[in-house]
């Protein structure tokens, strides 16, 4: 089922260590990919390469067909978290993931900017923290994200949580509310690239699309004329945001280490998406296989 997988490589932390970890389940024979864990002292590396699927015989084909019907009926919505430093490409990848997997994209930063735009008390307070690159206090963020996750579209279609949780207390609160992701994606990008991405970023207020003056320029003059820049997209402010990120990222990772994949976010956005897409396709194939064994 992996659509493209020839050169991708992703790392799962200790993903073999927990028996009920969905990512550690046996690999489906039907999946059009080959997965192998290489253990070392602290992590297991999952490598993906294409291999032809074995030809199904008549019996296995019948089993597969009935299984797929049950799988479709019982499909559990996908739940994804995506994390990374400022401008590591979270929003850009979410656009691509959402397009292919039809999930509800919930970005903590966007929810906060909506509060600011609406002129609410929470928005006014949030802006004070965002101006200095610090985390907005939990009493504003935690319930705001929880409420969005509980909306009917999120529970029915599945969700893609972007930039949340960003601290141990947020991760713990989310766990307490019963929200567990299937996979935690961490985008890794060297710091010197991040600053260039931030200062060149522009947003289209009409479509919400993210552009970059150099890497993703607007398609037309008309779009170029209406692009806006975020108030916290300066070199000075991104350095403050980066410091906050480094202070918190390890504690969040510790909560999701068994379902974490590290993705190289320094390559083109298409190449980043290819790594993510491969991991998601394999995750879905594993879930289908599990469901298949349960109904067989």
Q: Tell me which residues are annotated as active site.
A: 90, 166, 201, 230, 241
Least Cβ distance, residue 282 to ligand AP5 (angstroms): 21
For ligand AP5, the closer CB: 33 or 260: 260
Q: State the minimum distance, in angstroms, from the CB of residue 171 to ligand AP5.
A: 10
In the complex, least distance from residue 135 CB atom to ligand AP5, rounded to whole angstroms: 4
Tell me, letter by letter, the H, E, C secondary structure of the chain.
Answer: CCCCCCCCEEEECCCCCCCCCHHHCCCCCCCCCEEEEEECCCCEEEEEECCCCCCCCHHHHHHHHHHHHHHHHCCCCEEEEEEECCCCCHHHHHHHHHHHHCCEEEEHHHHHHHHHHHCCHHHHHHHHHHHCCCCCCHHHHHHHHHHHHCCHHHHHHEEEEECCCCCHHHHHHHHHCCCCCCEEEEEECCHHHHHHHHHHEEECCCCCCEEECCCECCCCHHHHHHCECCCCCCHHHHHHHHHHHHHHHHHHHHHHHHHEEEEECCCCHHHHHHHHHHHHHHHHHHHHHHHHHHHC
For residues 86 and 158, which CB has a smaller minimum distance to ligand AP5 in the complex? 86
Rank residues 25 and 234 by Cβ distance to ligand AP5 and give the closer one: 234
Complex with ligand AP5: residue 30 or 216, whichever CB lies closer: 216
Q: Tell me the closest approach of the beta carbon of residue 11 to ligand AP5, in angstroms.
A: 18
- List residues binding ligand AP5 (CB under 6 A): 84, 86-92, 108-109, 112, 129-130, 133-136, 141, 163-164, 166, 170, 197, 200-201, 210-212, 215-216, 241, 268-269, 272
């Amino acid at each position: 089922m992996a659509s493209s997988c020839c050169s991708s490589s992703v790392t799962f932390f200790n993903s073999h260590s927990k028996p009920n970890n969905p990512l550690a389940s046996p690999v489906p024979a039907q999946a059009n990919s080959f997965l192998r864990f290489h253990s070392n002292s602290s992590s297991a590396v999952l490598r993906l390469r294409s291999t032809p699927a074995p030809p199904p015989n008549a019996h296995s084909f019948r089993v597969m067909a009935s299984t797929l019907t049950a799988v479709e009926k019982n499909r559990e919505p996908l739940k994804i978290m995506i994390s990374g430093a400022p401008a590591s490409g979270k929003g850009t990848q979410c656009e691509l993931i959402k397009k292919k997997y039809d999930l509800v994209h919930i970005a903590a930063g966007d929810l906060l900017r909506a509060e600011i735009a609406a002129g609410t008390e929470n928005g006014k307070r949030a802006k004070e923290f965002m101006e200095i690159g610090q985390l907005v206090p939990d009493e504003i963020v935690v319930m705001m994200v929880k409420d969005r996750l509980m909306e009917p579209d999120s529970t029915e279609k599945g969700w893609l949580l972007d930039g949340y949780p960003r601290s141990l207390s947020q991760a713990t609160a989310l766990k307490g509310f019963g929200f567990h992701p299937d996979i935690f994606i961490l985008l890794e990008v060297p710091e010197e690239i991040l600053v260039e991405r931030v200062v060149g970023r522009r947003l289209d207020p009409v479509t919400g699309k993210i552009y970059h003056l150099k890497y993703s320029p607007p398609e037309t003059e008309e779009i170029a004329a209406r692009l806006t820049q975020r108030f916290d997209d300066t070199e000075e402010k991104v350095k403050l945001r980066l410091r906050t990120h480094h202070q918190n990222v390890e504690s969040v990772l510790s909560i999701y280490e068994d379902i974490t994949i590290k993705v190289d976010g320094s390559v083109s956005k298409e190449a980043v998406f290819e790594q993510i897409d491969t991991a998601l396709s394999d995750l879905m194939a594993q879930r289908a296989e599990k469901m298949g064994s349960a109904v067989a």
